Structure formats: C-alpha cells, structure tokens
Structure 1
Amino acid sequence: MTSTDHVANGHSKPPGTPPGSSARQLAAASVGNAAEWYDWYAYSFLAVYIADQVFPRSASNSLVPLLATFAVFAVGFFMRPIGGLLMGAVADRHGRRAALTATILLMGAGSLLVALTPTYHAVGVLAPVVLVIARLVQGLSVGGEFAASTTFLVESAGPGRRGLFSSFQYVSTTIGQLIASGVAALLVLLLTNDRMNDWGWRVPFLIGALFSLVGLWIRRGAHETRPAEQRGGARPGLFDALRLHPRESLLICGITAGGTIAYYTWTTYLPTFAQVNADFDKGDALVVSTISLAFFALLQPLGGMLSDRIGRRPLLLFFAIGFAALVVPLLGSVTDTFVSLLLVQCAGMVLLTGYTSVAAAVNAEIFPARVRAAGIGFPYSLTVALFGGTAPYVGTWFKEAGHAGGFPWYVAGLCLVSACFYLVLPETAKGPLKG
C-alpha cells in the first residue's frame, strides 16, 4: 500500500507522522481556527465603538456611509467565497499546511490593521479605507479557513475517527466566539466609556494578532496530510473542482443551505430576535447566548463520535427534519423570561449539532484528495454568504415588513431543502476517503 493509499483510505495518519501526534494535529487546526474566529467575532462585538471612531455620523463626506456599507457587504458576501476558492487552491496545490499558514497570517495581519486603524478625525476618509482593507483581508482568510482546516482535520483522523476530528471545527469556532465575547465584556466592565472609545476597542485586535502568532507556531509543527506524490504531480486548475465535479459541488450547496441558516439564526440572530419580538433584556440575552454556546461546544464531539458509529446521514436528517418541524414553535415560544430563551436556544443547539458535528467530515468525504479543499471552499462559502450571512438581515426585513412570523417558515423551508439532499446523500462514514 502506498502512502497515497494510506491517507486516501483514512486508515492511518499521514506518512511519517510520529506516534501520539493526533493531539498536535487537532491543536494545529483548532487553535488556529479559534484565533481566526476570535478576530472575526471581535469586530462584531466592538462594531459600535469602531463606528464612532471610523464612521462618525457627523461626517460630511458622502463617501463615509458608502464605505461603511461597502465594508459590511464586501467582506460578508464577496470575499468569503473568493477566499474559499483561492485558499482551497493553495491547499490542493501546495499542501494543507501551506494554506493553514496563509489563512492565519492573513487573519493576524487584518486584526493588527484594525487595531492600528486611524480615526476619521485624524486622517479623514483614509480611516474607513484602511478598515475596509483590513476586513477584506480577514474575509479572505475566513473564507479559506473552513476549506483548509476541514480537509486537514479529516485527513489527520485515524480509522473510525473522522467524525470526531471534524467536530472540532465547530468546537474551536465556538471557543473563538466565546473568547471574543469575554474579552469585549471584560474591557467594557473595566474601562470607562471614554477610554473604550479612545483606545479600549483596539486592545482585542492586538490580542487577536498575538493569538494568531500562537496559532501559527502550532501549525508550523503540524504534519502535512496531502500525499507527496500528489503535491509533486500536475497541479489542479483553479476551477477544476467545479468543472470536473459539478454534482459534488451542488451537493455541498444543498448540504450547507439549511445548516448555515440554522446556525446563524441560533448563534447570532436569536438574541436580537428575542429583543425585537419579545422585548427581551439585551444584557440577559447575551448571558443566555454565552451559556448556550458553551453547551453547544460540549455537544460537538459527542455528535462526531456518534456519527462514526451510526453514520453521517442519520444525524443530518435528525437536524433537518427536527429543525423544519420545530423552528416555528420554538421561535414562537420565546418570551421575555430568561428561562424561556435559554430552553429555546439550548433545544435548537441539540438539533443543530446533527449538522455542525458532521459537516466537515461529510464535505471532505465527497471530494477526491486532488481537489478536496477547493471543492469544499467555494460552494460552501458561497452558500454561507447567500443564506447564513444574510439571516439577520432577512429576519429584520420580515419584522419591518410586518410579517415577523414568516422568518421561522423561511428557515424551516431551507432545512427541508437540505433534507432532500441528505436523503440522496450516500453514506460515507465507514468508507475510505477518496484518493
């Protein structure tokens, strides 16, 4: 059996990997991924302070609100699919570790640039330009991170452990979000509002840049999972995955659509939904969100291990059918009491785990190794941009249109669409990875 066969079949670690290095492989993907998402979420938690310094309402220059809009939309809806395609191609052409190094360097550089962004008062319209560039760099990084780390995690797994390893994708993402929330909350608690506006909002991004360096150091010691024989062969074209595997690319979109709308609804939009629709206290909503996210992180390895035993498809169907059936009554039962929101959010997290704990494994098991990262990166990031990133906007639009009850049905509909894809999805848990 060649070294290529070993990795393709998923029944051993990459050739030359020392015994006991599974923890190092997991840490390389997870710590770096947590750093990536810490930086990403830190911006959302501190956006109100950044806006006051970089996009002041009193600015007379008409370019300022235009650039503010461009920053939000360009990063969220444009750069992530491009990042998924480009960084996925780097992973397929030069190895997974090269892509992981590139994504974390980009995120660290973007975070440092945010921290050093001058104020509008100091340099005028150059301030929002710098911030836009920083967020574009970070968007490129985040778009590529899922494809590179997903591929690396699943290819690093030993026999019967691909589901478990893949579950750490969302464990680390959640940990990054919790750290960002904690750092932001601590600064707001310790500093006066004037100090937060003056310099306090920059501190989390400096921490993020240092966090990225730690992740870089760990990733440099990881072992490459793409076989040397493939790295030395003909390099895949940028669009080879789409051109040669259109069915698999469509499958990624169908698998992701329901999962991403459910994920962003429950982890990002639900606190706002409770505030807007049930007059829920903003501070209590953040506490509930923090508790439920910690609960969610603990569930992921359990879901991954279960999928290694019973298969991926049962968990995916549990998520999609369960969410489609229960999202309307769950959101409808949110009241202004702490317990009601906590129960609703935790119940949704249990259902959501059926998707998040296995998504990385399923995506990686669909494509052959030669185009695996790029094959995952572009359709996944595009679907997230179309349905996941827009969830808060669509929910708000339904509310403003006087049809707040329509949003849960929208989520349920997308989950049913994904359920159709899960029904025809071949079971991949027990088979080898495609070579």
Structure 2
Amino acid sequence: MTGTQTTVPTRTKRPVRQLLAASVGNAVEWYDWYAYTFLATYLARAVFPKGAGNSLVPLLSTFAVFAVGFFMRPVGGLVMGAIADRRGRRAALTVTILLMGGSSLLVGLTPTYASAGLLAPVVLVAARLLQGLSVGGEFAASTTFLVESAGPGRRGLFSSFQYVSTTAGQLVASGIATLLVDTLAEPSMDGWGWRVPFWLGGLFSLVGFWIRRGAEETRSAALQRAPRPGLFEAMRRHPRESLRIAGITAGGTLAYYTWTSYLPTYAELNTGVTKSDALLAGTISLAFFALLQPLGGLLSDRLGRRPLLLFFGLGFALPCVPLLHALRDSFTVLLLVQLAGMVLLTGFTSISAAVNAEVFPPRVRAAGIGFPYSLTVALFGGTAPYVGTLFKQWGQAGLFPWYVAVLCLLSSLVYLRLPETAHRELDR
C-alpha cells in the first residue's frame, strides 16, 4: 500500500461468490498450465526429435518451450493488468480464461514430429505463448480481484485462495496424469493418452468462463470514473514498488516451481525414482500444500506479513541443500522431502497476493503487480526445470540446490526491509 489515503471503500456484497469466481477460474487456468509440466516426457518424445547419442535433448527442448511460455507472462501481466485497471477486474478475468481454454486445445491438437516435422514444435510454441499470455494476465487480475473482495482483517485469508486454487488445478492435472500413466500402456500414452488432459482443459475453461460472468466488479465507483491509466504508468510512477515486487517474488517463485513442478522430474533424473511414484508423491504433497494455505493466510492477518515471509525465506535457504541431497530411490523419502518443503513454502505462497496488492495504489494495481511479478517468475520460476536439467547434463546436478538456496536468501534481505501492511486499510 502506498500513499496516505484512508478512504474506506465500498465492500463487496457477495464475498463468498467472489471467492468462488476467482478460485474456480484460477484453478482451471493453472490446470491447463501444469498439465504440460506433468506430461513433459511424453510431449518430448512426440514433438521433438532425439539428439544423436543424448536422451536428454528432447526433454531439454520441452522444458525450453516451458520457459518460452513463461516469457510471455510479463506481456500478459502488463496487457491484461492494464485491461483490469482500465476496463475492470472482471473483464480481464473473462478474457484470460478464454485464452487459456483455446491454447489448451491447441496443445492437445499438436501434431507429432513424425507426422508434421518442424510444424509440430512450431504449433506447440504458439500454444505455450498463448498460455503464457493468459497466465500472466490471470495472476495480475485475480490477485487484485481477490484482495479487493476481502473484508477487514481478511486480506491474508482471501489471498491464500490464490494458491489454494492454483494447487487445486495442479492437483487435478497431476491426478489425471497419474491415472493415465497407471492405466494406459506406454504406446497408448505416447500415441494419444498425453492429449486427453489438454482436451479436458478446454472444456473446464468454459465452466470457469460461465462462473466468472456473474462476478461483481471490485473497483470503486470513483475509480471507474477516474481517467484511465496509461500502459506503463505503474512502472513510470512507481519504480521502487516495481523493484520491490521483483525482490519479494524471486526466491519464492524459484522455490515454488522447484518443489511443486520440477521435483518429480528432478527425482527421476537423479535418483531413479519411477515416474508413477514421482507423480504420486507430487499429488499427495500438493493436497497437503492446499490445506496449509488458509492457515498461513489467517496467521498473517493476525501476526503480519513479514514474519511469514521470513519464515519462508530463511527457512528455505538453510535446509534446501540437505533436503534435495537427501533424495534417493525411495518413494517415502521423496514424499517427506516434498512435504517439508511445502510447509516452508506456505510462508510465501499463502500471502503473496496480499503482499503484492498492498504495494500499489488501486488505479494501477493490476498492471503494477502483473509486469514485475511475471517478469521475475519468467526469469527464475520458468527456467527452474531447464536449469536443473542442464546442470544434470553438465554432470553438476549438485549445484541446483545451492542455486535455490542463494536466491531465497537474497529475497529474505528484501523481506527484512518491507513495511508491515497487514493491518492497514486497503485503498480501492
């Protein structure tokens, strides 16, 4: 939160419905996004040719496309954030859900390299670019929408549903992927099984669109009448706040994507854990993670944002290396490592939306959050699977845990200097 305004905004009349509109749509968005991650090895075999004598080349190519999608997220955060600030939060949310549904169908219809040659990776890249645009805009709009919908003393709780719904989407994607891997023969998974989750994602997006159409706009009437902000106004007028968002996010996004998305693949590559065991451990830990989020949000509403952020940053920096080095060919060990990381990670994820929304004034809040947040996620979160796999290819897999630990430590220095905003009124 910036400035000294103390105007009390008009409260939303239907907070539970607002929560449902944001959460269901967000879950669908992230289901589509993470289905790609969980099925990366099948996409690699279908879309990319194997490099001579190197079995990691297709997987590296697939994770490179994963990272390319992330680099469209800042564009989505800027453009969709500007729509949210100029046309309303609800308008931006309906656009993002339709974009994600279309791009998910496109992934499901991507031809194989054997049938279409270079057209196959071109179609996949186009689909991931659209997904990146959608997800970048989704975070900007839904973060603002959620926090502005909250009543007094409940911003942390409402904020936590950003990752409850994100995790629900991941959980469904992971569960469907696990079910397909366990029930279909390998030739069927390689042939058509990997496409099923993306076809379902297109249908889920229509459900999310229908729910969001009935949401209530959270911008105040005075703000709706005010002059519309320019596309780059947030960065131009609030450069310090933009840098603060980047510092808050850097360690959190790397830890988050490492623990919730890349860890199953990391375990497969470095310990020999089977694919089905890795997916099952990921699914269980995601369910545990979702249950923790509201507790973290409620705790931050009582104690403040900064204590939880430091719990995450310092807590993750210290045990990250021994936790990842403890992994071996054991389902139980993998599950325990994932659960331990989820507890620490909750200090960041449960309040990320509230902390970000409290940094910017309402006129440029969505775009102000969207661009620096999404750019930081692209630089550190989106590249996590690629960097980890690249370290493995270079024979230096042990460096990746240190990379995660150092970045979390740097973000902790930012958390130490953050002003406490939990008990201040949010301008709207």
Q: Does residue 188 in structure 1 map to residue 174 in structure 2?
A: no
Cα pair 1:169 1:360 within 8 Å, conserved: yes
The equivalent position to 1:223 in structure 2, one of 197, 201, 216, is 216
Cα pair distance change 1:147/1:179, threshold 3 Å: same
Matches within 5 A, 1:30-109: 30-57=23-50, 71-76=65-70, 78-109=71-102
Q: Does residue 238 in structure 1 map to residue 236 in structure 2?
A: no
Q: Report the secondary structure of 1:266's partner residue.
A: helix
The equivalent position to 2:380 in structure 1, one of 363, 375, 387, is 387
Amino acid at match of 1:333: A
Amino acid at match of 1:102: V
Cα pair 1:67 1:128 within 8 Å, conserved: no
Matches within 5 A, 1:116-135: 116-120=109-113, 123-135=116-128
Cα pair distance change 1:418/1:245, threshold 3 Å: same
The equivalent position to 1:369 in structure 2, one of 343, 362, 366, is 362
The match for 2:346 is 353
Q: Does residue 248 in structure 1 map to residue 241 in structure 2?
A: yes
The equivalent position to 1:13 in structure 2, one of 11, 14, 30, is 11
Task: List per-residue Cα deviations over 1:232-288 (Å, max 9, x = no partner).
Answer: 321111111100000100000000011111111211222233333333333322221
Cα pair distance change 1:225/1:288, threshold 3 Å: same
The equivalent position to 1:309 in structure 2, one of 284, 289, 302, is 302
| Alignment partners' CA distance in 2, 1:413 and 1:57 | 34
| Alignment partners' CA distance in 1, 2:163 and 2:215 | 20
TM superposition shift of 1:404: 3.2
| Alignment partners' CA distance in 2, 1:185 and 1:318 | 32
The equivalent position to 2:317 in structure 1, one of 307, 313, 324, is 324
The equivalent position to 2:406 in structure 1, one of 400, 413, 420, is 413
Report the RMSD for the aligned CA atoms in angstroms. Answer: 2.5
TM superposition shift of 1:54: 3.8
| Alignment partners' CA distance in 2, 1:338 and 1:87 | 41
Cα pair 2:321 2:402 within 8 Å, conserved: yes
TM superposition shift of 1:53: 4.1
The match for 1:62 is none
Cα pair 1:367 1:434 within 8 Å, conserved: no
TM superposition shift of 1:46: 2.9
Task: List per-residue Cα deviations over 1:169-216 (Å, max 9, x = no partner).
Answer: 111111111111222232334444444344333322221111011111
TM-score, structure 1 length as denominator? 0.89
| Alignment partners' CA distance in 2, 1:69 and 1:393 | 5
The match for 1:335 is 328
Query: Mean Cα displacement is larger for which, 158-167 or 318-327?
Result: 318-327
Q: Report the secondary structure of 2:72's partner residue.
A: helix
The match for 2:55 is none
Q: Report the secondary structure of 2:421's partner residue.
A: coil
Q: Does residue 167 in structure 1 map to residue 160 in structure 2?
A: yes
Cα pair distance change 1:271/1:69, threshold 3 Å: closer
| Alignment partners' CA distance in 2, 1:72 and 1:318 | 30
| Alignment partners' CA distance in 1, 2:289 and 2:112 | 38
The match for 1:214 is 207
Query: Mean Cα displacement is larger for which, 193-202 or 362-371?
Result: 193-202
Cα pair 1:67 1:132 within 8 Å, conserved: no
TM superposition shift of 1:337: 2.7
Amino acid at match of 2:327: V
TM-score, structure 2 length as denominator? 0.91
| Alignment partners' CA distance in 2, 1:238 and 1:254 | 22
TM superposition shift of 1:336: 2.7
Task: List per-residue Cα deviations over 1:21-67 (Å, max 9, x = no partner).
Answer: 22211111111111011111112233344444444559xxxxxx999
The match for 2:108 is 115
Share of identical aligned residues, percent? 71
Amino acid at match of 1:74: V
Q: Report the secondary structure of 1:336's partner residue.
A: coil
Query: Mean Cα displacement is larger for which, 408-417 or 101-110?
Result: 408-417
Q: Does residue 257 in structure 1 map to residue 243 in structure 2?
A: no
TM superposition shift of 1:153: 0.3
Cα pair distance change 1:122/1:405, threshold 3 Å: closer
Cα pair 1:83 1:141 within 8 Å, conserved: yes
TM superposition shift of 1:409: 2.2
Task: List per-residue Cα deviations over 1:48-90 (Å, max 9, x = no partner).
Answer: 44444444559xxxxxx999787444323x2111111111111
Cα pair 2:175 2:283 within 8 Å, conserved: no
TM superposition shift of 1:138: 1.0
The match for 2:144 is 151
Task: List per-residue Cα deviations over 1:314-338 (Å, max 9, x = no partner).
Answer: 1001111111122122223223333
Task: List per-residue Cα deviations over 1:287-320 (Å, max 9, x = no partner).
Answer: 2111111110100000000000111011001111
The match for 2:19 is 26
Task: List per-residue Cα deviations over 1:7-31 (Å, max 9, x = no partner).
Answer: x646x523xx3xxx22211111111
Q: Report the secondary structure of 1:366's partner residue.
A: coil
The match for 1:422 is 415
| Alignment partners' CA distance in 2, 1:157 and 1:105 | 25
Cα pair distance change 1:237/1:111, threshold 3 Å: same
Matches within 5 A, 1:134-145: 134-145=127-138
Cα pair distance change 1:126/1:192, threshold 3 Å: same
Query: Mean Cα displacement is larger for which, 38-47 or 353-362?
Result: 38-47
